[in-house]
Amino acid sequence: MKGNILISCMAAAMAFASGVTADAQSQNFKLGQWTEINNSIVKELNRSYVDTLPLDRIMRAGVDAMLEELDPYTIYVPEEENEDFELFLSKTYGGIGAIIHKKVGENVIINEPYAGSPAHKYGLQCGDEIIAIDGVPVKDLETKESSDRMKGKPGTTVTFKVKKVRTGDTLDINIVRERIHFPDIPYAGMLDDTTGYILQSGFTENVSAEVRARFNELKKLGMKRLVLDLRGNGGGLMSEAINIVSLFVPKGSLVVSSKGNTENSLKEYHTTLEPIDTDMPIIVMIDSGSASSSEIVSGALQDLDRATIMGKRSYGKGLVQSIRPLPYNGQLKVTTAKYYTPSGRCVQAIDYSSRNEDGSVGHIPDSLTKEFRTAGGRIVRDGGGITPDVDIAVPDYSRLVYALVLGGVIDQYVIDYARRNESIPAVDDFHFSDEDFEDFIRFAKTQDFDYRSSAKTYYDQMKKELEKDGLADAMRDELTALEKALEMDKERFIRLKKEEIIPFIEEELATRYWFQEAGVKVRLRYDEQLKTALIKPMI
């Protein structure tokens, strides 16, 4: 009997091993088959195709199409795109530190110099026109070519011929490029006597040390409660996310785990540093733009019952990417694992393609998700981002406001304003007056942009559909009456949306005159979602 059992067990083990081996052989065979077919097709095309093959273009198209079948985050980066990829990963580049505005046929306009940047140090300001870069006239250059000429290795010099915005003088200015780093902490300060606030926009190297420093500064100012704002933070280094969580939970706490495609690929990441505060109440703000490392931080603090998460559901990116070198100095950013919060849930969206217009996770029924428990026993679910403990609606803006912002009307007005006004009051005292708004209306009326209301755009689409169906003539009177009711001239619509528009103008003007930190302070002045969070009970 025992012999039969032993033989059965051995047979089962051999069958399992045989199955695994067969699967591996099948996978290897398919890979070899695909490689052989692909090579044969390219060789035959090169030999037989009627025209010269555009090899660079079809190679890139083929690689991109192949990777698109996997997930949205696995991408190929050829050598010529390495610099842009480095900027994407590290938020650093060699240059002068300024945002520019450029149209073909026009000079480069300095839109916004960064505080402390070479552009700022050498006196460039909003509205200055760059006529030439290293002796090359810029009028016929595209925006990217102009930007590329301004960038370069830190320590090198670039020469600009500049027309100053207020004096009209034309000067040659030699600027020494520096390593420019976009700050991961654009602002930190006190919202009231006891509430500290840290806005974190990224997870590049050493941001955890900066969060630690800012936290300690705010604590000295009397902070009794912290708001960590991760709204719009698309993530970055997992190590920095772990280090930020470690600031607020006991040493040795599990923050996140990751698992690849093999049984032994599970890795757990625990805090290794002593915390700076394990008791202070924390609010973490998230939204549909909070992704990756932002979800690691918010998910861990939620699962460990260390913070109250407020806002809207996060993006839903529970994947880990690694960078692999390729021949000819290319790189492959490849998804190598999924990550899991301390409760064991994965925040990756179930379906990559089921996204809202802003890219966030679409509706997922509970039947497709699993239930998990926080350290304190609260229920949390997987399958699509971090669901906040306290859901707070995002303010809705009219279509007109989006048109003014995304169409560049406000941006162009701010440059025009800077040409005519040498200064504005300090940011705490600065408010866009009624007289200023009349000035904006006069400017906006001269600009070409789509100022239709959302209702009018729906009407225009409906009218087209009725015309396709041959019904427009029969409904002419009704359509005419509805169109007349929906019609609104540009000036009237702008006046109607004054309260929506002014905060955007104030923020942009504050940024131009007093830099990014001032712009954030103005934004907080009008942040209704944050104001609501501050009066909500914490969990």
Distance of alpha carbon 134 from alpha carbon 160, whole angstroms: 6
The pTM assigned to this predicted structure is: 0.87
Residues 6+ apart with CB under 8 A from 184: 91, 200, 201, 202, 203, 204, 207, 210, 236
Q: Identify whether 265 is a catalytic site residue.
A: no
Give 535's pLDDT tier (boundaries 50, 70, 90).
very high
Give 28's pLDDT tier (boundaries 50, 70, 90).
confident
Q: Of residues 147, 288, 290, 292, which has the active-site annotation?
A: 292
Collapsing DSSP to helix, strand or coil, 442 comes out as helix
Q: Identify whether 303 is a catalytic site residue.
A: yes
pLDDT at 88 over 80: no
Residue range(s) of every CATH 2.30.42.10 domain in the chain: 92-181
User: What percentage of residues in the chain have a pLDDT greater than 90?
Assistant: 68
CATH of domain 92-181: 2.30.42.10
φ, ψ for residue 198, nearest 5 deg: -125, 120
pLDDT in tens, 301-329: 999 999 999 999 999 999 989 899 999 99
Write the DSSP string, 377-417: S-EEE-SSSPPPSEE-PPPP--HHHHHHHHTTHHHHHHHHH
Residue range(s) of every CATH 3.90.226.10 domain in the chain: 187-391
What separation in angstroms does the CA of 502 have from each of 430, 489, 508, 509? 12, 19, 10, 11
Least confident piece of the model among 6-20, 103-117, 254-268, 280-294: 6-20
Name beta bridge partners: 267.
258
pLDDT in tens, 218-250: 999 999 999 999 999 999 999 999 999 999 999
Give the range with max mean pLDDT: 76-85, 272-281, 380-389: 272-281
pLDDT at 361 over 80: no
Identify the helix (H) or strand (E) that includes residue 427: none
Give 488's pLDDT tier (boundaries 50, 70, 90).
confident
Is the sign of the CA dihedral 61, 64, 68, 70 positive or negative? positive
Tell me what pLDDT residue 511 has.
Answer: 96
What separation in angstroms does the CA of 128 have from each of 101, 118, 178? 11, 15, 20
User: Regarding predicted confidence, which is higher, 356 or 203?
Assistant: 203
Tell me what pLDDT residue 180 has.
Answer: 93
Give 56's pLDDT tier (boundaries 50, 70, 90).
confident
Give 287's pLDDT tier (boundaries 50, 70, 90).
very high
Q: Identify whether 40 is a catalytic site residue.
A: no
Tell me what pLDDT residue 247 has.
Answer: 98
Residues 6+ apart with CB under 8 A from 476: none
Q: Are 517 and 421 in contact (CB under 8 A)?
A: no
User: Regarding predicted confidence, which is higher, 204 or 483?
Assistant: 204
Residue 12's CB: how many other CB atoms inside 10 A? 10
Tell me what pLDDT residue 9 has.
Answer: 47
Is the sign of the CA dihedral 289, 295, 301, 303 positive or negative? positive
Q: Of residues 184, 229, 287, 303, which has the active-site annotation?
A: 303
Into which CATH architecture does domain 187-391 fall?
Answer: Alpha-Beta Complex (3.90)
What separation in angstroms does the CA of 79 have from each of 64, 84, 85, 86, 143? 15, 10, 10, 11, 21
What separation in angstroms does the CA of 184 have from each of 181, 235, 237? 9, 10, 12
Least confident piece of the model among 39-48, 176-185, 218-227, 407-416: 39-48
Q: Of residues 317, 333, 456, 497, which has the active-site annotation?
A: 317
The percent helix, strand, coil of the chain (3-state, each to 5) is: 40, 20, 40
Distance of alpha carbon 216 from alpha carbon 476, whole angstroms: 68
Give the range with max mean pLDDT: 6-15, 222-231, 453-462: 222-231
Distance of alpha carbon 123 from alpha carbon 160, whole angstroms: 12
pLDDT at 82 over 50: yes
Q: Are 341 and 253 in contact (CB under 8 A)?
A: no
- The helices-and-strands tally (H runs, E runs) of the chain is 16, 21
Collapsing DSSP to helix, strand or coil, 505 comes out as helix
Average pLDDT, the chain: 90
Give 357's pLDDT tier (boundaries 50, 70, 90).
low
pLDDT at 37 over 50: yes
